[in-house]
Chains A and B, each alone.
Chain A
Amino acid sequence: MTRRIYSRRDIGKFGLVAAATGIAAPYLNIRAAYARDAKLVFWLQPNFNKVADDLLVEQAKEYARLKGLSGNDLQIEVVPGGEVAKRMAAALEVGAPPDVTRANEEDLTKWGVAGHLLDVTPIVNEMKGREGGINEASLPLAMMNGQIFGAPMGIAANAAHVRADKFKEAGYDGLPKTWEEFIEASKKVTKPPFYAYGMALGLVPSDSLGDVMSVVSAYGGNLIDEKNRPALQSDATVTAFKLINTMYNDAKIIPRGALSWDNSGNNKAFQSGQVAYALNPTSIYSSLIADKSPFLDATILERPPGGPAGRFSTASTDYYSVFKKSPNPELAMGLIQHFMKPENYSRFIVEAGGRYLPIYPAQLKDPFWTSKPAFAGLLEAARSARSNYAPGKLTPALSEIVNRSMVVEEVQNMLVKGKDPARAVADAHKTMVEVYKRLGEPT
């Protein structure tokens, strides 16, 4: 018997064939699995923590079972927040948006005005009819032409995360009550590289505008008036801009790099012990708990400092929406109703760990909200919270201004290029008016 001798080339060939077979085998299975047509598509935007996200998946599957859907009839796609805009633009273009997804205020306005969403008034009415009703302050933003395009699913209140120990070391019992006092205290707290105020000032929507508006509103300034017309130009706003300029350029209580922060900038600064104050949703506090941070016990949640007009935090609402292209709108509406059933919703809110305040005020009686001392401050901040867009509401023009960070850009011009605060306010207002005119909205 002759014995075949395998060359390196032969072994290489066998290796290639084996690798190709190994790669192809699971691939064929995958291919087969995708030859399906889901009856219900839910875009899950991960938000809180794995447990809360898993709970949503479990509740969606439970709903599918109740409706007699098979495993392939329900499709849950996990879409990270940063990908939503791009993915949704493409999905709407090809006429295949999800049936249900969560929408923030900006997305809700954009999709609602463009006519992509279904009226969910019946769902909201059902929610209103439950014991204690719902927080109706969340509804005006979702209403367009008498229809409601989003069922409110949670209130994200911003709270001032405060390192009480640092202010105590500087001789203060807690967070000073006015911005002027805050600046004085912060001068003592700031010892570079440690700064008092982790003010988000980057050109990204959300945190930066929230920080700016928390100062502006304390002095009585607004972005828009009750008739949704630009209203930034006011003495109050100029005073607030001057104060921000003082904090950054004169008192130097804000890190210099804050101008380039994204939405995670103030989180990182606070979590790593570089700042003593940051205005943010409770994602910072939740991370301190999860990381067993040494700063956790020294951190309190509070309302931001105030001014002559009051002491306000900011808050926003998230919604569940159904798309008009949904082939089974009743099924899609039913999923939202299932999520918002008080027993299901209560579990979700608790698992979300304080990320959202419940839309049903009655659920604030849950022992969860007294389980941590800091939540008292959060609830206080929530009670004093107002929308960045108060007393008006978000419109397509304002949405563009927010998404393009036009107001914060003028704040940056003031801080970096030395533009006079009054000029910066005037220019920001002028830019707003231009956008409003271009989009045909009242000025």
Chain B
Amino acid sequence: MAMSQQTSTRLTRGVGAVALVVLIVWTVAPLYWMVVTSLKVNSEIYGEQVTLWPLKPTLDNYRVLFEETNFLIYFRNSVIVAVVTTMLSLVCAALGAYALTRLNFPGRRFFARALVYTYLMPSSLLFIPLLIIIRGVGLQNTLEGLVFSYLGFTVPFCTWLLMGYFMSIPIELEESAMVDGCGRLGVLFRIVIPLTVPALAVVAFFSFTLAWNEFIYASVLVSDLSVRTIPTGIPNFIVEDVFFWGPMMASTLISAVPPLVVYFLFQRFLITGLTLGAVKG
């Protein structure tokens, strides 16, 4: 018996709805579990019964986090490193991408391709050579050292990303500006960048989250508690084979807030930026 159009549509929507619910649960469940665990006492976390909601909600894990650990210092360091890395990445990537798309110089294609290859190098291979360099220039155990290291992987990728956006801007716009007396930098800052704000938002978000979450370099390049960042502070809640789940979940939850804030602030630009290339040839 042939299925009517209406039934078919309903079925499709039903399957879609079920798939969406599964995806939402899949996405939200870990976050929910983090929140709930951070509000449980340890005996409940390790209790015989799994509880979906804390039986005796407590903020003690947050008290431990703020009063008995260096979490606030880690948080401040993460903010400094992520913000500075993002700003420097934006400046360097914008200048680099503009040069590679608009200027003619020998080796331009090579540099453009090398950017991608640089980005593809795994950090687990690079951390020892990088430590040698950072130590050699006296930046070990400093936040500048971390920022410079992160620029090593944010700038190539951001430059490569921006190149695509810059290429989509009609060159005639820039030529008109130059005819009117604008220099190269003037064209970049007055014409190109205002037209690519969504792309810059994507690049900024990418740099921020990478610098915020990075672990390997941070764990090797800095060691003192006063210059550690959040990702290297969280493992302190694992002592050999004992996990302090409550404070760990609390710190993980709080550390997820800044990227979320950045995302919501730039959400409009991000969505435009991410779909910008989809409708341009």
Question: Chain A: residues with CB nearer than 8 A to chain B?
Answer: 23, 26-27, 30-31, 33-34, 46-48, 50, 75, 77-83, 86-87, 89-90, 93-94, 96, 206-207, 262-264, 266-268, 271-274, 280-281, 283, 286-287, 290-294
Q: How far is the CA of A293 from the CA of B142 in the complex (A)?
A: 42
Closest chain-B Cβ to A95's Cβ sits at a distance in Å of: 9
Residues of A close to B240: CB separation below 8 A: 47, 81, 263, 281, 283
Residue of B nearest to A87 (CB): B220
Contact digits for B213-230, partner A, Cβ 8 Å, 1 yes 0 no: 000100110011111000
Q: A23 to B80, Cβ gap below 8 A?
A: yes
Closest chain-A Cβ to B13's Cβ sits at a distance in Å of: 38
Q: How far is the CA of A281 from the CA of B128 in the complex (A)?
A: 34
Knowing A27-B80, A30-B143, A31-B142, the reply to whether A80 touches B235 (Cβ < 8 A) is: yes
Q: B46 to A33, Cβ gap below 8 A?
A: no
Residues of B close to A87: CB separation below 8 A: 219-220, 223
Number of B residues with CB within 8 Å of any CB on chain A: 36
Q: How far is the CA of A304 from the CA of B68 in the complex (A)?
A: 38
A75's contact among B46, B83, B224, B242, by CB below 8 Å, is which? B224
Contact digits for B70-86, partner A, Cβ 8 Å, 1 yes 0 no: 00000010011001000
Closest chain-B Cβ to A21's Cβ sits at a distance in Å of: 12
Q: Which of B220, B223, B232 counts the most A-chain CB atoms under 10 A from its CB?
A: B223
Q: B144 to A31, Cβ gap below 8 A?
A: yes
Interchain Cβ contacts within 8 Å, total number: 104
Closest chain-B Cβ to A10's Cβ sits at a distance in Å of: 19
Q: B235 to A93, Cβ gap below 8 A?
A: no
Q: A207 to B241, Cβ gap below 8 A?
A: yes
Q: Does B189 make an interface contact (CB < 8 A)?
A: no
Q: How far is the CA of A281 from the CA of B242 in the complex (A)?
A: 11
Q: How far is the CA of A281 from the CA of B240 in the complex (A)?
A: 10
Residue of B nearest to A41 (CB): B223
Residue of B nearest to A283 (CB): B242
Q: A46 to B239, Cβ gap below 8 A?
A: yes
B48's contact among A82, A263, A272, by CB below 8 Å, is which? A272
Interface SS majority for chain B = helix
Residues of B close to A33: CB separation below 8 A: 226
Residue of A nearest to B227 (CB): A30
Q: B46 to A293, Cβ gap below 8 A?
A: yes
CB contacts under 8 Å to A, within B233-255, are 235-236, 238-243
Q: Which 4 pairs, one residue from A and one from B, show the smallest C-beta to C-beta distance?
A: A273-B48, A271-B46, A263-B241, A77-B223
Q: How far is the CA of A90 from the CA of B171 in the complex (A)?
A: 48
Residue of B nearest to A290 (CB): B42
CB contacts under 8 Å to A, within B133-169, are 135, 141-144
A292's contact among B43, B79, B83, B232, by CB below 8 Å, is which? B43
List 10 interface pairs A-B (beta carbons < 8 Å), by A numbering.
A33-B226, A47-B239, A78-B225, A82-B235, A86-B219, A94-B128, A94-B131, A263-B240, A281-B241, A291-B42
Residues of B close to A280: CB separation below 8 A: 241
Knowing A46-B239, A50-B68, the reply to whether A77 touches B128 (Cβ < 8 A) is: no
Q: A294 to B128, Cβ gap below 8 A?
A: no
Q: B236 to A34, Cβ gap below 8 A?
A: no
Q: How far is the CA of A206 from the CA of B241 in the complex (A)?
A: 10
Knowing A23-B80, A263-B240, A283-B240, the reply to whether A294 touches B43 (Cβ < 8 A) is: yes
Q: Does B114 make an interface contact (CB < 8 A)?
A: no
Residues of B close to A271: CB separation below 8 A: 46
B239's contact among A80, A207, A272, A294, by CB below 8 Å, is which? A80
A46's contact among B47, B132, B135, B236, by CB below 8 Å, is which? B236
Q: Which of B46, B47, B225 counts the most A-chain CB atoms under 10 A from its CB?
A: B46
Residue of B nearest to A31 (CB): B142
Knowing A26-B76, A271-B46, A291-B43, the reply to whether A90 touches B241 (Cβ < 8 A) is: no
Q: How far is the CA of A90 from the CA of B236 in the complex (A)?
A: 20
Q: B128 to A89, Cβ gap below 8 A?
A: yes
Residues of A close to B238: CB separation below 8 A: 80-82, 264
Q: A34 to B48, Cβ gap below 8 A?
A: no
Q: How far is the CA of A194 from the CA of B43 in the complex (A)?
A: 18
Closest chain-B Cβ to A393's Cβ sits at a distance in Å of: 23
Q: A264 to B242, Cβ gap below 8 A?
A: yes
Residue of B nearest to A29 (CB): B226
Residues of A close to B269: CB separation below 8 A: none
Q: Does B127 make an interface contact (CB < 8 A)?
A: yes
CB contacts under 8 Å to A, within B54-97, are 68, 76, 79-80, 83
Q: How far is the CA of A280 from the CA of B241 in the complex (A)?
A: 9
Q: How far is the CA of A145 from the CA of B239 in the complex (A)?
A: 33
Residues of A close to B223: CB separation below 8 A: 77, 79, 87
Residues of A close to B241: CB separation below 8 A: 206-207, 262-264, 266-267, 280-281, 283
Closest chain-A Cβ to B121's Cβ sits at a distance in Å of: 17
Q: How far is the CA of A89 from the CA of B125 in the complex (A)?
A: 12
Q: B46 to A291, Cβ gap below 8 A?
A: yes
Q: How far is the CA of A259 from the CA of B232 in the complex (A)?
A: 28
Residues of A close to B131: CB separation below 8 A: 90, 93-94
Q: How far is the CA of A261 from the CA of B185 in the complex (A)?
A: 57
Q: B236 to A96, Cβ gap below 8 A?
A: no
Q: How far is the CA of A436 from the CA of B131 in the complex (A)?
A: 33
Q: A273 to B47, Cβ gap below 8 A?
A: yes
Knowing A82-B235, A87-B219, the reply to whether A30 touches B226 (Cβ < 8 A) is: yes
Residue of A nearest to B129 (CB): A93
Closest chain-B Cβ to A188's Cβ sits at a distance in Å of: 19
Q: A27 to B127, Cβ gap below 8 A?
A: no
Residues of A close to B227: CB separation below 8 A: 30, 34
Residues of B close to A80: CB separation below 8 A: 235-236, 238-239
Q: B142 to A34, Cβ gap below 8 A?
A: yes
Residues of A close to B141: CB separation below 8 A: 34
Q: B242 to A287, Cβ gap below 8 A?
A: yes
Q: How far is the CA of A78 from the CA of B83 in the complex (A)?
A: 26
B220's contact among A23, A48, A82, A90, by CB below 8 Å, is which? A90
Q: How far is the CA of A189 from the CA of B236 in the complex (A)?
A: 36
Residues of A close to B216: CB separation below 8 A: 86
Q: How far is the CA of A220 from the CA of B247 in the complex (A)?
A: 44
Closest chain-A Cβ to B238's Cβ sits at a distance in Å of: 6
